[in-house]
Amino acid sequence: MSMSIAVAGASGYAGGEILRLLLGHPRVASGEVTIGALTAGGNAGTLLGAHQPHLFPLADRVLADTTAEVLAGHDVVFLALPHGTSGPIADALPPSTLVIDCGADFRLSDAQEWTRFYGTPHAGTWPYGLPEIPGNRDVLSGATRIAVPGCYPTVSILSLLPAVTARVVESAVTVVAVSGTSGAGRSTRIDLLASEVIGSARAYGVAGAHRHNPEIAQALSAAAGEPVSVSFTPVLVPMARGILATCTARTSATADEVRAIYEKAYGDEPFVHLLPDDRLPTTGSVIGSNSAALSVSVDERAQTLVVVGAIDNLTKGTGGAAVQSMNLAMGFAENEGLSTVGVAP
């Protein structure tokens, strides 16, 4: 009997990305896994093809309402919903159902931090779907509730974790991350209009205001074993996908020492690519793939570690991490349906 998957929020960007990846998943191709209910909020009742014109095989699927009733009965449920809305739905689904939440609701362990940044009561904390954090694969294996990390946290944590864990940097890090617009979702906001974005770069959520701030700090602090202060600035630039994070921290280590730490940390990781010394990451090289590309340098004059990390915010930063987490939870090979090879140029 085949396993079935439902996707809530199928008309949005995260939902669309999950479906794109599932359509290329070998267990879907083989029929072992089927794509079941596709749900939406305001778009319920319309055809998926009207919203996701690239998903030709599912073009004629009618979007159902996002309710626990519709989602129940599936083996796996992906939630790609606005922040703060996953809690009640997850509560209503059987504990045995694998629920993978792409929203922020279950990422933070500190209820106060949640409320400070999101303004609502804390829903809880689920296993964190970033398998590259040491120990996390064990946690995710067989899990039935998984919180997919935010896109900025994913690249920031991957970029800084080895250095912070090895304590070769001060416990104050600076991340400036440029991002494409799809990270903001399919929302009709004036500042996301093409006319506003094309030909322009702008920072937002500066000075600690962005909601991904506590998520980055949480992971880095856990790794350091002490509070790590994070200065995080996101910058919106004219592209649809991709995040490039420039991560700096004071260090007295040499470039060779740091490189050795990163090589050890990521040598066996299938999706993290530590680039040779003469290359720097581009978001263009990871679009559509589950890859993270990293460069590691030390500015000796400024005694600063500079790690540049690139991911596709919708793939490794959302949908790819969701599928990677599902693979681990279900006991599939971790990279099934996930490519290291993006679409370039």
Residues 6+ apart with CB under 8 A from 268: none
Binding mask 241-280 for a second copy (x = CB under 8 A): xx-x-x-x-x----------------------x--x--xx
The active-site residue out of 19, 93, 102, 151 is 151
37 in Cβ contact with 64 (< 8 Å): yes
Spatial distance between the Cα atoms of 213 and 231, rounded to a whole number of angstroms = 8
List the x/- string, 52-71, binding to a second copy by CB under 8 A.
xxxxxx--------------
Spatial contact of 115 and 121, defined as CB atoms under 8 Å apart: yes
Q: How far is the CB of 168 from a second copy (least distance, A)?
A: 15
Binding residue for a second copy, selected from 222, 237, 260, 330, defined by CB under 8 A? 237
The least distance separating a second copy from the CB of residue 98, rounded to whole angstroms, comes to 23
Determine which residue in the list 30, 31, 267, 301 makes contact with a second copy, applying CB under 8 A.
301
Q: Return the range that interacts with a second copy (CB under 8 A); candidates 78-86, 131-139, 145-153, 298-306.
A: 298-306
16 lies in the binding site for a second copy (CB under 8 A): yes
DSSP β-ladder status, 229-236 and 202-203: antiparallel
Among 98, 178, 219, 338, binds a second copy (CB under 8 A): 178
The residues, any chain, with a CB within 8 Å of residue 79's CB and separated by 6 or more, are 8, 9, 86, 89, 90, 99, 100, 101, 102, 103
Contacts (CB under 8 A) with a second copy, residues 114-143 = none
Asked if 335 interacts with a second copy (CB under 8 A), we say no
Cross-sheet strand order for the sheet of 33-40:
64-65, 33-40, 3-8, 76-79, 98-101, 145-147
- 102 part of the active site: no
Pick one of 226, 264, 299, 333: the residue that binds a second copy (CB under 8 A): 299
Give me 216's structure tokens.
Answer: 């980055």
The burial of 65, by beta-carbon neighbours within 10 Å (0-12 exposed, 13-18 middle, 19 or more buried), is given as middle
181 binds a second copy (CB under 8 A): yes
Residue reference for tokens 């940097």: 169
Strand 76-79 and strand 145-147: the pairing is unpaired
CB nearer to a second copy: pick between 32 and 69: 32
Shortest gap between Cβ of 252 and a second copy (angstroms)? 13
Of the candidate residues 82, 284, 330, 335, the single one contacting a second copy (CB under 8 A): 284
Site for a second copy in 305-324 (CB under 8 A): 306, 308, 310
